[in-house]
Amino acid sequence: MLAALPCRAADFTTEQWSAIGQIYAKTLAHPFLKGLSDGTLPRECFQFYLIQDSLYLRAFAQALNLLAAKAPREDWSLTLAQHSIDTLKEERRMHQVVLASYGVTPAMAAAAEMAPTNAAYTNHLLAAVQRLTFSEGLSAMLPCYWIYWEVGKQLVRQGSRNKDYQRWIDNYAGEEYATTVRQVLAMMNESASQASPDQRREALRLFVRSARYEYLFWDMAWRREQWQP
Ligand SMILES: Cc1ncc(C[n+]2csc(CCO)c2C)c(N)n1
């Protein structure tokens, strides 16, 4: 199915989003996000999610630094390095505040083991940015930004009865976050326009895979996934 897509250079991000339409629809319908929105998500699931996400964010920030080092433009290097700092300082602080209110310290979160889906997703991101070209690596990283933005905008319309869940929603529905995502979207379109058709095809494949992992990440938290045995 993917091979049949034209992979044009023009407005690559439009093509990317249309490739994940079904995955995004399934994501919005997932019980984790339904529960976040109506306040019925069990606290244990949210706590599991926040601990796993703290581990994810550390790997994501490392991947951003690798991508910053590969960026063909200095302003892009600066933007991505700044996102890495923001990820570790601001996004993780939000997680820490809520986890502290649940009695989980940063040391306890850092000592947790990555669940299988989280390990697979972060390895996929780190491998993409390390081994492939800048635009392929960026494409793998993009669903993380973009899906959270779309989810945030969708969930904020309804609001949540749970104040912790509402705080999470507000973070991703805010104007500051929108600016961050728009920076990456512009970078993606520009860098895809310089890439070869083969690189764009690979970039699209990586984007779809990351979107699938984003879905699985919520599902992992919903199931509180453990290593077996
Ligand atoms: C599984 C998972 N996917 C995406 C995000 C959102 N996110 C993580 S780092 C970053 C870049 C800017 O800080 C963004 C948008 C998340 N928290 N957890």
Confidence at residue 7, expressed as pLDDT on a 0 to 100 scale: 53
Query: Atom 14 (ligand 1): residue with closest C-alpha?
Result: 145
Query: Atom 4 (ligand 1): residue with closest C-alpha?
Result: 144
| Listed residue (179, 183, 181, 188) closest to 207, CA to CA | 188
**Ligand 1 contacts CB of residue 145 (under 6 A):** yes
Phi-psi region of 141 (alpha: psi -120 to 50; beta: other; left: phi over 0): alpha
Confidence at residue 1, expressed as pLDDT on a 0 to 100 scale: 46
pTM: 0.94
**Ligand 1 contacts CB of residue 172 (under 6 A):** no
Give the position, in ligand 1's atom list, of the atom nearest the Cα of 217: 1
Distance between CA atoms of residues 150 and 153, nearest Å: 5
- Please give the ipTM for the structure prediction: 0.97
pLDDT tens digits for range 125-177 = 999 999 999 999 999 999 999 999 999 999 999 999 999 999 999 999 999 99
The two three-digit tokens of residue 122, written as one number: 């972060």
Q: Which domains does the chain show, CATH number per domain? A: 24-223 (1.20.910.10)
pLDDT tens digits for range 36-55 = 999 999 999 999 999 999 99
Chain-centroid distance of CA 120 in Å reads 14
- CA count, 13 A, side-chain hemisphere, 68: 16
pLDDT tens digits for range 92-118 = 888 999 999 999 999 999 999 999 999
- 19: which DSSP letter? H
